[in-house]
Amino acid sequence: MDDDLWALIEPLLPSWPERAPRPHPVADRICLQGILYVLYNDVAWQLLPLELGFGSGQTCWRGLGRWQQASVFDQLHWTLLSELNAAGELDWSRACVDGSHIRAKKGVPTPVRRRSTGARRAANTT
């Protein structure tokens, strides 16, 4: 990870007193690299290889949860967007809005035909 990028990320992380104590501390930078490795490679947390030096998958998973709760990734997203925009690296003409997380209304529901239960035709089965 680039030192300039880390300089943007480090201030967003919670300070030491807010964190739960850890038996085997892993540097935040290493933990973040482990998180990114798991997410990028679509590896299960428990299958994160210790040989890579990121700590255990459990440690990285706890770091992800703690930082997600502290809104670190939301702040990081906005920080990176503002940095890229200031450097002229964003092409806003190609931006789009993704509403896949919002329920789409499909108009007025059409009435469903009901089966008549009487001897004669019901009014709703025309």
pLDDT tens column, 61-100: 988 988 898 889 899 889 988 988 999 988 888 777 776 6
Is residue 2 domain-resident?
Answer: no
Is residue 74 domain-resident?
Answer: yes
Please choose, from the candidates 79, 69, 56, the residue with its C-alpha nearest in 3D space to the C-alpha of residue 19. Answer: 69
Q: Mean pLDDT across the stretch 34-39?
A: 93
Give the per-residue pLDDT at 44.
Answer: 95
Is residue 46 domain-resident?
Answer: yes
Is residue 114 domain-resident?
Answer: no
Q: Mean pLDDT across the stretch 107-124?
A: 65
CB atoms within 10 A of CB 103: 6
Question: Model's pTM, two decimal places?
Answer: 0.64
Sign of CA dihedral 33, 36, 42, 45: positive
Is residue 23 domain-resident?
Answer: no
Is residue 67 domain-resident?
Answer: yes
Please choose, from the candidates 101, 80, 27, the residue with its C-alpha nearest in 3D space to the C-alpha of residue 35. Answer: 27
Domain that holds residue 59: 35-91
Between the alpha carbon of residue 92 and those of residues 54, 86, 96, the distances in Å are: 36, 12, 9
Contacts of 7 (CB under 8 A, 6+ apart): none
- pLDDT tens, 14-26? 865 555 565 557 8
